[in-house]
Amino acid sequence: MLKQGLHQKLLQKLSPQQIQLMKLLQVPTTSLEQRIKEELENNPALEEGQDMTGLEDTYQASTDESEHTEDTPFEDNENFEKTEEEISLSDYMSEDDDPYYKTHANNTSADDEQYEAPITQGTSFHEHLMTQISFNDLSEKEMTVANTVIGNIDDDGYLRRDIDSMCDDLAFSQGVMTNIEEITRILELVQDLEPAGVGARDLRECLLLQLKKTNNGEKTVTDAIRILEDFFDEFTKKHYDKIQKRLSLEDEELRDSINEILHLNPKPGNAYASVTRNMRAITPDFILDMVDDEIHLSLNAKNAPQLRVSPKYAEMLESYGKNKNKESKDAALFVKQKLDSAKWFIDAIKQRQETLMGVMSTILQYQYQYFKEGDETKLRPMILKDIADRVGLDISTVSRVANSKYIQTHFGTKLLKDFFSESLSTDSGEEVSTREVKKILQDQIEGESKKRPLTDDRLTEILREKGYNIARRTVAKYREQLDIPVARLRKEL
């Protein structure tokens, strides 16, 4: 049964301005320029340039002369009267505005070196292969098959599609009837191209193609080929003692053969694919300088131009305010909407920078010893709540600030999220950052003997000797987070 009733509820909703600010907060400096360009394209009332002053008095005088009267002959007098009262140039242009919102950083001088990134051009990997295959005396059908084979090779140089599927692709999409034997023959031609190892279907085949191409009869290369053909599983697991025993190799012979394999390129296509691959450049959002042993923090805003409300739109609003017809009323409402949007965006940029600086300054104070010395063991345990409580913001806001943001320091460019870590208690009851434990693990593994690498059990013992009472599984988890393989895979001859 349906019932109607009145209910009162307390709801918390974000205004459009707050939503806009939240979106801008998580945008890094590298994307802020594009975001501002989009806003400039969508809102003609927003433009780049210095603030215009002196227009406020002119517009205010014009609105005083054109006050609305009760006998104005058009509809909806009340709404238009409200609109005229709200329209004031002082809302958009004020001489007292804090210039901090201006996102242009004038921190260059005539002596600064002007650097422009060069534009790199080159032949793509697949074009390189097609050029080589064209030197073979192939028929039109064979060239179509070769084009399909090369087209299915990824940027690493591997053929990721099986021959049966390529046979079906040629038949259904291009009407070329072929068979597995013909595709295999064309694939062998492709595998004979440069770079060596291209067109392989797995790592083993890739390494074998490279060795067979350089095989000059030397025993080292011959043994390396036998290791890959007959003992590839043992090789990947570094069971060198089994390989040595079955092939009856001396220590020196085994070492030379393994080194021959390790010097091969597991991704032969990388040298050519890098020409067309987009490399992500890191632009720091904050810049940390050490001046006379004092830390100075600044916000990098060089990618954001100066913003202002368009004076032309302000004058347009003034012009429409004088006319008392329906069309002028609609035009005035439209212009005012655009002016409001421009002012909101400028205010959001200002709030974004203030929030970024507030959060980063708090992080700097919290991790002062680390930023001063650059020693990771000086990192204190810090979670988002620690910073949110100090700066007086919500945890989600701090998370947005730390997301994809970088700071340039005297010891390198760092990701803000790397400064956050959980705490770990030592035997003395002192709380330390898990980053400190990871740093000790990394140092121990870097200094280990590669002939007898440290196992997780031994690493656990070392940490306990240093006062870090943690379990073996935790050591394994930290090692995996550092992208360090198990001891067996770190073993070298």
Chain segment 15-28, per-residue pLDDT in tens = 666 676 777 777 77
Burial 251-276 (b: 16+ CB within 10 A, else e): eeebbbbbebbeebbebbbeebbeee
3-state SS, residue 134: coil
Average pLDDT, stretch 111-115? 43
Note every long-range contact of 143-148, with CB atoms under 8 Å and residues 24 or more positions apart, other chains counting: 144/170, 144/174, 144/176, 145/170, 145/176, 145/178, 145/182, 145/183, 145/186, 146/186, 146/189, 146/190, 148/174
What does pTM read for this prediction? 0.53
Query: What digits encode the pLDDT tens for the residues 275-309?
Result: 444 456 778 888 888 887 788 888 876 655 678 88
Of 24-38, 218-232, 365-379, 399-413, the range with the lowest mean pLDDT is: 24-38
pLDDT at 493: 63
Confidence of residue 161 (pLDDT cuts 50, 70, 90): confident
Of 4-13, 39-48, 452-461, the range with the lowest mean pLDDT is: 4-13
How far apart, in whole angstroms, are the C-alpha atoms of residue 13 and residue 409? Answer: 39
Beta bridge partners of 421: 382
Confidence of residue 114 (pLDDT cuts 50, 70, 90): very low
Q: Which run of H or E residues covers position 412?
A: strand 412-415
Query: What digits encode the pLDDT tens for the residues 187-228?
Result: 999 989 888 889 899 999 999 999 988 887 788 888 889 999
3-state SS, residue 44: coil
Q: Where are the beta strands (DSSP E) in 173-304?
A: 286-291, 294-299
Residue 384 has pLDDT above 80, yes or no: yes
pLDDT at 438: 83
Confidence of residue 13 (pLDDT cuts 50, 70, 90): low
How far apart, in whole angstroms, are the C-alpha atoms of residue 228 and residue 234? Answer: 9
Residue 72 has pLDDT above 60, yes or no: no
pLDDT at 276: 47
Judging by DSSP bridges, how do beta strands 431-433 and 423-425 pair with one another? antiparallel
Closest CA to 226 of 202, 246, 206, 241: 246
How far apart, in whole angstroms, are the C-alpha atoms of residue 207 and residue 27? Answer: 43
Average pLDDT, stretch 21-41? 78
User: Distances from the Cα of 435 to the Cαs of 29, 127, 257, 313, in angstroms?
Assistant: 27, 45, 39, 54
Residue 57 has pLDDT above 50, yes or no: no
How far apart, in whole angstroms, are the C-alpha atoms of residue 25 and residue 398? Answer: 9
Average pLDDT, stretch 9-16? 67
Phi, psi of 283 (to 5 degrees): -110, 115
- At 353, the amino acid letter reads Q
Percent of the chain whose pLDDT exceeds 90 = 3
Please state, rounded to an integer, the average pLDDT across all residues of the chain: 76
Query: What digits encode the pLDDT tens for the residues 326-363?
Result: 777 777 788 788 888 888 888 888 888 888 888 889 98
Residue 371 has pLDDT above 80, yes or no: yes
Residue 82 has pLDDT above 50, yes or no: no
